Amino acid sequence: MSFDLQKIIESKRALRHNLAARPVGEKLRMLDLLREWELAIRGRVIHSDASRPCEEPAPYLSGHKER
């Protein structure tokens, strides 16, 4: 495996260009799929009605302990 920073940068640029060229509907489907994967990784279940998926909000971790 070689580490060629220029190739990595060019590859990322090509991927961004490819994603930007896709239709909006396809981008939205990709976002829905990513959201489903994220929820599955977290172990949460999507509670959906007929119109849209819903979930509990993620817990906020403030970085300090309550007294």
Give the tens place of pLDDT for each residue, 17-52: 999 999 999 999 999 999 999 999 988 655 555 555
For residues 50 and 3, which has the higher predicted lDDT (pLDDT)?
3
The answer, as to whether pTM is greater than 0.75, is no
Give yes or no for a contact between 23 and 29, defined as CB atoms under 8 angstroms apart. no
The kind and range of the H/E element at 47 are: strand 47-48
| pLDDT score of 15 more than 70 | yes
